[in-house]
A and B are shown apart, each in its own frame.
Chain A
Amino acid sequence: MRFTPRLPRDGINVSQEHPLKEATVLIVGLGAVFALLFILLVWLVDIVLLLVPAEAEARVFSSWDLSSLEVLSDDSRQAPVQELVERLAAHWPESPYEFRVEIMPGDEANAMALPGGLILVTEGLLDQVETENELALVMGHELGHFKHRDHIRRLGRVTVLTIGAAVVSSSAARVSLADTVGNLATRSFGRDDEREADRFGLELVQAEFGHVAGAWKFFERLDASALGIDRVAAYLSTHPGNRDRIDDLRALAAARGWPLDGEPVSLALGLR
C-alpha cells in the first residue's frame, strides 16, 4: 500500500459564509420577528385586558398585596388626600372603582395609578404642592388614567416584556438589552394617554372648584425647577412635565370657557 501525503482541505468543515453576514441576518431577522411578536402580543393583551370589565378588575385587585410596596400605613396625611380623591371621584359617578390612596416614603415627587383603584402618592409630592387645586389636578390626572384604563394597558405591556425578557435571557445571550429597552418602553404611559388624563383631571378640577385657577401651578414649578432640582426628576421621568402640557390645559380651559380666575383653596390642615 502506498502512502500519499495530502494536506487537509479547507472549507469542508468550516462554512465559507462571512460571520458578519450571519450576524446581520440573525440580528435583523430575529429583531424584526420579535418586534412583530411583541407588538402583536401587546395588542392582544390590550384587547383581552380591556375586555375585562373594570368591576372585575376592581374585585381582583382589591386585595392587592401592599407588603411589596413600601407604604406608610398610618400616616396622618392619608386621610385628607383620600378625602380629596373621593370628592373628585364624585364627579365621575359611573366609576367602577373604589379609590384608595396610599402614601409612599421618599423626597421625590411622584404619583402612580395602579390596578384596582390604588393611587400611590409620595411624601415628596405632598411636600411640594401648595394649594388643594394643584393636588386636585395631580389626583384628577391619575383618575384620568383609571378612566381610560391606561394602568391596565401598562400592566399588559409590562407582563409581556417581563415574560419575553425571561424567555430570551434564559436561553440566549445574557445581554441586558431586553431589560433596558423594556424599561424604556414601559416607563411612562404614552404621550397621548398623559394628555387625555390631564384633560380629565382638569375637568374634575373645574367640576369641583368651579374654576381652574392655579391648577397647573405645580407643573409650572416643575418646569421652572427641572434644571436644578432632582427631587422633581422622578415625576418628570414618568410624566411629561413640559410647556406643551400646560399649553394644552390652558387651551382646553379656554375652549370650554372654564374660568381662569378664582381663589385657590388652601391645603387641608393635615397637609400644610
Chain B
Amino acid sequence: MSDIMTAKELCLWYGSSQALKNVSISIPEKSITALIGPSGCGKSTFLKTLNRMNDLIPEVKITGEVSYKGVNIFDSSVDVCELRREVGMVFQKPNPFPMSIYDNIAYGPRTHGVKSKAKLDEIVERALRDAAIWDEVKDRLKKNALGLSGGQQQRLCIARALAAEPQVLLMDEPTSALDPISTSRIEELALQLKEKYTIIIVTHNMQQAVRISDNTAFFLLGELVEFGETEKLFSQPKEKRTEDYITGRFG
C-alpha cells in the first residue's frame, strides 16, 4: 500500500508555545489511521495541518514538510482551496450550514464550478448514499438541515465532505458529541468509506481506535511517540509511555 500523505520533521508553534515537535509520519492510502493521545497532545493540531486549516489561526509558525501525493502542501504554488477539496474534513461538532439538506451537500460541488442541475442531483444522491443517510433524508432534501438529529447532522457533514470528491477525509473526534447508537453508525460508515477514501481520525476513545483503525499514532506533548499497526500498538506497544497511556495509567 502506498503512502498518500507524509509529514517530515513537522514543527508547529502557536505564538511562542510549541504544539508539534518533529513529527514524521507516513499515512497509507485507503486505510483508517487513528490519532490518539491525551488532550492538548497535538493530535488535532496535526490533523488541521494536513488541510492547512491552521492557516486561519493568527501567529502560527510551521517548519518542516507535509507532502500530499508527493507535493509539499506548504509550497507557495499550492492552491489551498484545491488542497482542501482533495483533503476534506469533518469537525468535532456537527456543523451543517443553516440551509437545506440539498444545498448543504451541493455547496462543495457548486464551489468548484458544477452548475448543471442534473449533475448536482447525481452528486447529492451519491454523497448521501455513501454517507448512509440517503434513506432517512431523501423525502426532505429541501428541508433545513438543522432539523436533523445530531447523529444525522454528522453523517450529513460527512456526505457534504464526500460531495467535494476528496481523496483523504480528516475526522476530528467526529463522534464525541454523539450518542452511542449514532457513534456506531459513524464507525460502520468509516469502515465502508475506507474502500474509496483515506481516513485520518482523531479520537479520544481508544476502543474506537481499536474497532475501526488499521494504524494508530500516539501523540504526547506534541511528539509522535509511536506509530504502527493498531493491533500491535495496543497489544505490544514498543514505548513505555504508550503502554502507560493505553492501559489507563494517565490521560
Do A and B originate from a single complex? no
Chain A residues packing against B (C-beta within 8 Å): none
Chain B residues packing against A (C-beta within 8 Å): none
